[in-house]
Structure 1
Amino acid sequence: MSTRTDTSHEAESPPGNWRAGTLAGIAGGIAMGALVIAMNAATIAVAIPSLYTLAPPANPAIGMVVHVSHGAVLGVVFAGIVGALDLDSDATVVGVGVGWGVATWAVLAALVMPVWLSAVGSPASPPLPNFAPPSLLWHVVYGLVLGGVYVAIDDKL
């Protein structure tokens, strides 16, 4: 006689909705990218693809793909933050999105990006630190769209 024991292992999922974070990050990356192109196209065409030695020559299409990919990854991190904080107010989630945009500006754009671009020998290397006000605006727009789209689709995915 044999016995069979069924065991179920329920995987614990991380906090937040990573699917909503990914899509919201893509939306934020597109909105921010459009604003960057309107205000300083070289950032998308040269600086962003230079991070991965994909420019020069200038390549705005590759720059947008890289930029939107960064937005998606940072959107997943945002979803984890929102889930870990267990936020229950849509306005608070959008506010945290704006705060996340400011944080990514202060750390990634102002500190990491100049070092990275210098390390790869990019002609688009900004000074270190690079606390440029237009870049702050771009990242606030990213965070605002990120938070707003996350709130809009979180319960649908």
Structure 2
Amino acid sequence: MATTTQSAHETGEPSGNWRAGVVGGSVGALVMGALVLAMNPPTLAVAIPSLYTLAPPPNPGLGMVVHVSHGAVLGVVFAALVGALDVERPTRLVGAGIAWGVATWIGLAALLMPLWLSAVGSPASPPFPNFAPPSLLWHGAYGAVLGAVYVATEDAL
């Protein structure tokens, strides 16, 4: 008598499309950066590059490079999260993007950034915590664009 035993093994293949996350996060960060430049240029010109002691003097171009780099990395994290949570419907992906934008606003912009800027002695160090409504708008826009671009590119990349 022969017995067959089968077992299911995960392939170890990550879910979520990290490439779409990079593209979505980069485009979202560019849109957010444009909003920041229109509404509060010192945030992009001084505060963001100050995180890495790259300002002062104010440098909006360098701030945008740093900001888009952050957006790309956070886009990869978004891709991993939606993959792990098995989010597939386009409307839910865009909603997840907005939620991710709000989460980054709370955790990174409102809580971590003021502490980090204070630690590096930045002249642009905001109070802690810094739950600034314009920043919520910017991060929500980042997330909406991230989610929409992710939907548009996940099957192509």
Common fold by TM > 0.5: yes
The alignment of Structure 1 onto Structure 2 pairs a total of residues equal to 148
Question: Given residue 49 of structure 1, which amino acid in structure 2 is its aligned partner?
Answer: P
Distance 1:90 1:27 in 2: 17
Q: Cα RMSD (Å) of the superposition? A: 1.1
What residue is the counterpart of 2:105 in the other structure? 105
CA drift at 1:145: 0.2
What residue is the counterpart of 1:52 in the other structure? 52
What residue is the counterpart of 1:18 in the other structure? 18
Distance 2:80 2:99 in 1: 14
Distance 1:121 1:71 in 2: 24
Deviation digits for residues 99-132 of structure 1, max 9, x if unmatched?
0000000010000000000000000000000000
Mapping of 1:129-148 within 5 angstroms? Answer: 129-148=129-148
Distance 1:110 1:24 in 2: 22
CA drift at 1:13: 2.6
12-21 vs 27-36, which moves further: 12-21
TM-score normalized by structure 1?
0.92
Unaligned ranges ≥5, structure 2: 1-10
Whether 1:36 and 2:36 are equivalent positions in the alignment is yes
Q: Secondary structure at the match of 2:43?
A: helix
TM-score normalized by structure 2?
0.92
Distance 2:108 2:88 in 1: 28
Distance 2:57 2:89 in 1: 45
Segments ≥4 residues shifted beyond 4 Å? none
Question: Given residue 126 of structure 1, which amino acid in structure 2 is its aligned partner?
Answer: P
Unaligned ranges ≥5, structure 1: 1-10
Distance 1:106 1:29 in 2: 16
